[in-house]
Amino acid sequence: MLCQECGERPATLHFTKIVNGEKTEFHICESCAREKGETIPGTSGGFSIHSLLSGLLDITPGSKGPSTVKSTETLQCKECGMTYAQFSKVGRFGCSSCYKYFNDRLDPLFKRVHGNTTHMGKIPVRAGTHIQAKRRIDDLRQELQQRIIDEEFEAAAELRDQIRELEKGIPSE
Amino acid sequence: MSNVRFTEQPLSEWMRNRGYESDIVISSRVRIARNLQHLAFPMLATNSQSEEVLAKLQDVLQDERLHQFGQMHTLLLDELDELDKEVLVEKHLISPNLANESRSGAVLISEDESLSIMINEEDHLRIQCLYPGFHVQDAWEKATAVDDIFESHVDFAFDDKRGYLTSCPTNVGTGLRASVMMHLPALVLSQQINRILSAVTQVGLTVRGIYGEGSEAMGNLFQISNQITLGQSEVEIIDNLHGVVLQIIEHEKSARQKLISESRLRMTDRVMRSFGILSNASIMDAKEAAQRLSDVRLGVDLGLIDHLSAPALNELNVLTQPGFLQKTFNEHMERGERDMYRAKLIREKLGK
């Protein structure tokens, strides 16, 4: 097999990436690997993860009719000027607003890379007291369901009161 | 200048201690990626924006809460020569990206070098914590504490749905990469390593060599880290890595037991043969050095060699890297010359 980068030397490094059962293979020669520095997909800042990503990014959701192609060309971040086509090539966002302007395209991408589309982790304290409360309520609701299934009604009632208390603190949308 | 020691001493203070399970887990590392609101990511930032990022983040150093991590030293990348940068990369204190591509790049390093904060790397801010041995949870707790301090001064780019926004889509969400460096000679010798590593990739983790170069791990050292940063909480990510690493430790331990009980003579021969070659050779390339040092380390762990210590071997691993060799002997070297100096240095260190 020839190297995916130079197409000249035989590929000696082979990577397989599996996220949520989705398998991606990657073949490169040692010389290109060295030239590009970091070579294993999944490491930050590495070259090949970006080229690997750009493969994923090219996939346009929905039909492949002319109208879709056109929108790919014109889709652009109004903040930093990066187009979706450029993003596909370099595999990196230009600024935080790119996430907003490219939002419609990101779910399939994140699904492939992470198997998920929604953040479940830490929230900055200043930005997120409400988000934290909402997240906590979601957790409690899940626990509540489980208690009901397990027929632990006393514990369930306590959880229900806790949820009500938390909901008071959040302005309704 | 007091900052000189960061590029002169091969072993960070933190590496002198022995951590939990340190005969198998060499070190644990956590890094968090963050970006400031309303400023383009470093790749597209204008020079003045990059300077603004540097100034804003450097200001946070005034916060007294950072003193709990020891005195912080600032190194500006523009003021370092190429060799110093290479040495810092070899010590894992900065990334190759920061060394080679950054504009207004800087690194803030704590006194014991266990905390390094990179500015204007691929993201505006990268907080990295290093621990000897298996302490990935402690590393996370320290990193998140540092993150909290920064967050109390600056607004990070954050989205309700996507979490912390990063330059590369592979870091979005938590921005967290947790990794452990494992020495797994017995699993390699008993040919179980591929089976185990392929299992690891199926649970959202990834494996690479010590400096990320090539898939082949030098000296039986493997770096195992989380692949997924979005859709799992930090605690889940850390726990997942922790659980998997614990299992690998158990496999490596039982493989070592088996080696020593079933082929003690053969193991002793292998270990002492490598020790003999390292103590006497005149030319030693990086790959052979790594492999021989791995044998010797295994010999120390199995009690077959008793006059060497793990920290001394950690030191040799760093000292024999190209940048450090040139630093130690104070001259520029071509590839072939390095092998000669490397052999000389190892002979001297083991001969003590």
Higher pLDDT: A47 or B168? It is B168
Whole-angstrom Cα distance, residue B91 to residue B8? Answer: 11
pLDDT at A162: 85
Chain centroid to Cα B207, Å, comes to 13
- A9 vs B36, more confident: B36
**Across all residues in chain B, what is the average pLDDT?**
91
Nearest CA in chain B to A42: B227
Buried b (16+ CB within 10 A) or exposed e, B85-97: bbbbbbbbbbbbb
**Amino acid identity, residue B25?**
V
The answer on pLDDT for B201 being more than 90 is no
Q: Are residues A103 and A64 in the same domain?
A: yes
Residues in chain B: 352
Nearest CA of chain B to the CA of A70: how many Å?
24
Distance CA B254, CA A7 (A): 43
- Contact assessment for residue B94 and residue B109, using Cβ atoms and an 8 Å cutoff: no
In A, which residues are within 8 Å of B157 by CB distance? 96
Contacting residues of B for A127, CB less than 8 Å apart: 155-156, 158
Q: Are strands A22-28 and B163-164 parallel, antiparallel or unpaired?
A: unpaired
Residue B97 vs residue A55, higher pLDDT: B97
Closest C-alpha to A119, from B229, B166, B127 = B229
Strand locations in A20-123 (E): 22-28
Residue A24: pLDDT band with limits 50, 70, 90:
low
The verdict on A4 and A28 lying in the same domain is: yes
Q: Identify which of B41, B176, B214 has the shortest CB distance to residue A93.
A: B41
Per-domain boundaries in chain B? 5-255, 263-351
* Angle, CA A47 vertex, CA A90 and CA A64 arms, to 5°: 40
- Restricting to B residues 94-153, those with a Cβ less than 8 Å away from any Cβ of A are 95-97, 121-122, 144, 147-148, 151-152
pTM for the structure as a whole: 0.78
pLDDT band at B211 (very low <50, low <70, confident <90, very high): low
CA torsion B148-B153-B159-B162 (nearest 10°) is -40
Residues A107 and A135 in one domain: no
Minimal Cα distance from B153: which residue of A?
A126
pLDDT for residue A9 is more than 60: yes
A92 to B122: CB separation less than 8 angstroms, yes or no = yes
Across B14-28, B73-87, B224-238, B289-303, least confident range: B14-28
Mean pLDDT calculated for residue range B205-222: 72
Nearest CA in chain A to B35: A96
Q: How many whole angstroms separate alpha carbon B9 and alpha carbon B75?
A: 16
Q: What is the pLDDT of residue B6?
A: 82
| Residue in B50, B215, B216 to test binding to A, most A beta-carbons within 10 Å | B215
Quickly state the pLDDT bin for B302 (edges 50, 70, 90): very high
CB within 8 Å: B212 and A37: yes
Q: pLDDT: is B318 or A29 the higher one?
A: B318
- Each residue's pLDDT tens digit, A58-117: 554 444 444 444 444 578 999 999 999 999 999 999 999 999 999 999 999 999 999 999
Q: Which two tokens stand for residue A22?
A: 């989705």
Question: Is 60 exceeded by the pLDDT of residue B230?
Answer: yes
More confident residue, A146 or B146: B146
- Which of these, A61, A72, A68, A46, lies nearest to A112 by C-alpha position? A61
Domain enclosing residue A30, as ranges: 1-38
Instruction: Give the pLDDT band of residue A134 (cuts 50, 70, 90).
Output: confident
CB contact under 8 A, B232 and A121: yes
Give the pLDDT of residue A39: 41
* Cα gap B236→B178, rounded to integer Å: 11
pLDDT tens per residue, range B277-300: 999 999 999 889 999 999 999 999
Decide if A45 is inside a domain. Answer: no
**Stretch A46-69: mean pLDDT:** 50
What's the CATH number of domain B5-255, 3.10.450.200, 1.10.10.10, 3.30.590.10, 3.20.20.70? 3.30.590.10
Q: Are residues A109 and A134 in the same domain?
A: no
The reply to whether A29 and A64 lie within a common domain is no
**B236 pLDDT higher than 90:** yes
In chain B, which residue's Cα lies nearest the Cα of A103?
A: B162
**A34, A50, A94 member nearest B41 (Cβ):** A94
Q: Which of B12-21, B29-38, B194-203, B226-235 has the lowest mean pLDDT?
A: B12-21
Give chain A's domain count: 3
Contact state of A99 with B121 under an 8 Å Cβ cutoff: no
Task: Tell me what percent of chain A is helix, strand and coil, each rounded to the nearest 5.
Answer: 50, 10, 40
The confidence score (pLDDT) of residue B52 equals: 96
- Taking contacts as CB-CB distances below 8 angstroms, the residues of chain A near B204 are 19, 115
User: Is the same domain home to A99 and A133?
Assistant: no
Query: Residue B54 in contact with residue B119, Cβ under 8 Å?
Result: yes
* Shared-domain flag, residues A66 and A108: yes
Give the total residue count for chain A. Answer: 173
Q: Residues of B at the annotated binding site for ATP?
A: 27-31, 92, 126, 177-181, 208-213
User: Average pLDDT of A120-126?
Assistant: 86
- Ramachandran angles phi, psi of B105, nearest 5°: -75, 150
Please check whether residue B248 is in contact with residue B281, taking contact to mean a CB–CB distance below 8 angstroms: no
CA distances from A109 to B43, B161, B188, B320 (A): 21, 15, 35, 41
Report the C-alpha gap between B97 and B281 in whole angstroms.
35
pLDDT (0 to 100) of residue A42: 40
Residue A123 lies in a domain: no
Q: Which chain B residues are closer than 8 Å to A82 by Cβ?
A: 44
